[in-house]
Structure 1
Amino acid sequence: MPKTERIGFTAKQSREAMEGEEGKQEPQLILAHKLFLLTHPDVPDIEKVPIREEVLGSLKASEMAPLCGRLAAEGVMEVSREDLEAMRARIEEELKKIDEKIADAEENLGESEVREAHLAKSLLYIRISDKEKALEQLKVTESKTVAVGQKMDLVFYTLQLGFFYMDFDLISKSIDKAKSLFEEGGDWERKNRLKVYEGLYYMSTRNFKKAANLFLDSISTFTCYELFPYDTFIFYTVLTSIISLDRVSLKQKVVDAPEILTVIGKIPYLSEFLNSLYECRYKSFFTAFAGLAEHIKLDRYLYPHFRYYMREVRIVVYSQFLESYRSVTMEAMAAAFGVTVDFIDKELSCFIAAGKLHCKIDKVAGVLETNRPDAKNALYQATIKQGDFLLNRIQKLSRVIDL
């Protein structure tokens, strides 16, 4: 992309976007986003000062002694020994009370009370961010659980823990476990929630096509406010759809979707990014793209795939432009995108060499000539190849029969 002036999407705006629906998103996931911003190389030090204060306040409020110790060891946060010891003492006191409740429930009460006491202990370990003990206690709670819906809720707790630590192995296993539980039963509300969790997992592991399909299926049934606000969900849905859907599907499922239209205007640059692409206003698209890039950089799920996503979007927009022409001058294309001819030359050269764009550059004439693969010819070649394979198999079979 060409150099543009830095469009001010700050860490504060990113923080507010992720906390859009106050009181509904899981505090641990809000904290995870703040910790991400705190260690982000592109966030200025002056913006990290209030974030550090907020993080320290959250750590103390939730008694996150295990996490405090780790962050202090990594040099991310400074936590005094007195504060750590005080937190650990309060945790021990809470655990002692819960253990007493468990013992009392096992001796004097029923199975449901025993399960509730064990669940309270699981939630305590999740709250203080003790991953190993939380997972261990969730297994104990599951052994005391009979109802499929309650078992599913335990899986959702595990998934939230997985997203806090970005433990994709744990997330993948938990999603598989949830799907196996649904074979025993399960309500539609939890099934729809699982789609969002699964979509977030696929987006975080760079499978944008599967993520887009799952997000689009969940637009009208979204209830996963514990993961992120609805605005953020629409942001992810639009981003993944743009590089996954064809033009017709994008129009039907995204551009004209009423659920998206009600929200998209609240997210900076997103409406212009989507609509300028569909309406072939490429100069406006690049401007919106530059602004949106700042937002993507400050998202903990998308940041690892920032360069990949930026490349894929450019391939989509260049392919769309070239589809309209048999040949076009480099100067005309550069003018359409509001960039220099040299920039277009470098961009297209890389993508052509990688086999991502079907065209060739006539440098002398300054012309781009498209050489889109003929669908009929490709089908013919595939048929010939399959026919040759079948003949070889028949010949081998005939030799065996002759023997």
Structure 2
Amino acid sequence: MGEPLYNHYPDLSLAQAVFTLASPSTSSPNKRAALTTLQDAIKEHKMAPLYHYLAHPLSGKLNSAGEGGTSSAKSSKGPPVLRRTSSINSSSIIGVLGGIKTGDVDLPWDEHLYEELKRENDKELEVIQKEEDEAVESAGETEIQSARGKRAELYTRIGDKDAALAAYEALLEKTGILGTKIDIVLAIIRIGLFFDDKMLVKKSVDRASTLVESGGDWDRRNRLKAYTGLHYLTIRSYSAASPLLLDSLSTFTSTELCPYSSLVIYAVLAGSVSLPRREFKSRVVDAPEVRAILGSDSDSERLAALSGVVSSGPSAGDEEMQVDQPSATSATPNSTIVNLTTLGSSSSAAVKSEPMVDFKPLASLIQSLYTGQYNTFFSALAAVETQFLSQDRYLYEHKGWFVREMRLRAYAQLLQSYKVVSLESMASSFGVSVDWLDRDLAPFIASQRLPCTIDRVKGVIETQRAGDKNRQYNDVVKQGDQLITKLQKYGQVVRLRGSERG
């Protein structure tokens, strides 16, 4: 169906730069670098609407103390209080921050710059309108659609959300080619991701799925898989996101969506928190694509793993949560910083497109979880929170939930191997105090997410397991009740009265 269309804009890395500029979790040097990136992009792409949306003194999303603006965000102490549904109820490019900008670096407002950018936008629109008028008079439908597509791309490039959506909808209505329709809907999804409009993304993902199922080609099916996985990640549906993201590792072509390094991070995090132990080993710990990045010592080994030459290793043959020794097939934190574009490419442009990422905390996390090295688990989890969860706009909103779920997963894994374990022994395994462990376990036990009880008098944790015989007995009773109910209903239907028999 041809090469993908309309996949150059919006530039989602700019949305990440806006998040970095507004987030309370990023350092001042990173904020200043993000500010430079954002200012350069606004000038280069003539992004007057986005500049107004972000920096206007009265309504700008990044304005905290501008002329006529409010300074409540800047005067408040500490990070903003986040509400779980804040980014759903009111979509905003900084919706994951509760719509509040914090920090000491601002995007300054320049009225003369804005007017200049706006004039440039108007000139481009006039040229496109002239091209469309000429196509209507003397050319065919293909040329008309080409001009309309340029208008939609222009609105997307300069950050005019409403105008871009309207232009794409008009373009979609007049398009008959299935591949082009899918590309248009994927562009709409990226606009939703850029402005953190989760409802728009959800509706568009469903729309794209319907189009792909009606006959989409292989490339667009795989691109939609990555889009859908990222959407599920943003709405905290990690169990639905992990298979899609992990499958996308070997077929990823959606570089307009995110860098490959980010996809690796998203896939590993989603799989770590949601997959059962057997699948966690085969799809994350021993997956060739993951080992290529997290567990190899040289570029040649990474290339071999990415090409499928290296075996994924034996799958986990046990469901027991026991302590295993680290093996050569497991992901190990040997490699520290990996530039993915150096794997088979020496292009300077490619190197610039992929960021340098330190994957060591991520490798330590999955290794400590799978092998049961709980003494390093909390430190690895803290490093992942600091370096990944707090720095990424898709992960930030759910970082507290992720850290809590990973602690629960580690606790359940250790407790499954014991019927009774001392509090002191378990606290020593995790490198924490007995009192801290007691307080951390209590909410999980109270909500019945950990089937155990704490006896502080004896200083032990007793695991409560339902025996196989009890489970089989309950299943028989339940199925027997269902059978009796069905027989009673059947008897009422076929029963004949004495007079009816005659």
SS in 2 for 1:282: coil
Residue 192 and residue 376 in structure 1: after superposition, are their counterparts in 2 closer, same or farther (change >3 A)?
farther
Residues 1:37 and 2:10 aligned together: no
SS in 1 for 2:417: coil
Residues 1:125 and 2:217 aligned together: no
2:45 is matched with which residue? Answer: 62
**TM-score calculated relative to the size of structure 1:** 0.89
The 5 Å alignment of 1:303-322 reads 303-322=396-415
SS in 1 for 2:461: strand
- The Cα offsets for residues 46-73 of structure 1, whole Å up to 9 and x where unpaired, read as 5423322322222222222222222222
Number of aligned residue pairs = 380
**TM-score calculated relative to the size of structure 2:** 0.72
Larger helix proportion of the pair: 1
Which amino acid in the other structure matches residue 276 of structure 1? S
Q: Give the deviation of 1:375 after TM superposition.
A: 5.1
Residue 383 and residue 200 in structure 1: after superposition, are their counterparts in 2 closer, same or farther (change >3 A)?
farther
- The Cα offsets for residues 304-358 of structure 1, whole Å up to 9 and x where unpaired, read as 1111111110111111111111111111111111111111111111211111111
Among candidates 375, 379, 385, match of residue 293 of structure 1: 385
Identical-residue share of aligned pairs (%): 38
2:438 is matched with which residue? Answer: 345
- The Cα offsets for residues 107-154 of structure 1, whole Å up to 9 and x where unpaired, read as 112222111111100000001111111111112212332211111111
The 5 Å alignment of 1:72-221 reads 72=56, 73-74=59-60, 75=63, 77-221=107-251
Measure the CA separation in 2 of the matches of 1:376 and 1:174. 49
Higher RCO (CA-CA < 8 Å; seq separation 6+): 1
- The Cα offsets for residues 338-394 of structure 1, whole Å up to 9 and x where unpaired, read as 111111111111211111111111111111111123355335324423433453455
Measure the CA separation in 2 of the matches of 1:381 and 1:191. 44
Measure the CA separation in 2 of the matches of 1:182 and 1:355. 41
Higher mean C-alpha deviation, range 57-66 or range 120-129: 57-66
SS in 2 for 1:299: coil
Residues 1:237 and 2:220 aligned together: no
Measure the CA separation in 2 of the matches of 1:221 and 1:393. 50
The alignment yields a C-alpha RMSD, in angstroms, of 2.0
> Can you give the 5+ residue segments of structure 2 that lack an aligned partner in the other structure?
1-6, 65-106, 295-334, 339-358, 498-502
Q: Give the deviation of 1:28 after TM superposition.
A: 2.4
SS in 1 for 2:226: helix
Measure the CA separation in 2 of the matches of 1:382 and 1:66. 62
> Can you give the 5+ residue segments of structure 1 that lack an aligned partner in the other structure?
1-23
The 5 Å alignment of 1:256-271 reads 256-264=286-294, 265=335, 266=338, 267-271=359-363
SS in 1 for 2:11: helix
Residue 386 and residue 65 in structure 1: after superposition, are their counterparts in 2 closer, same or farther (change >3 A)?
farther
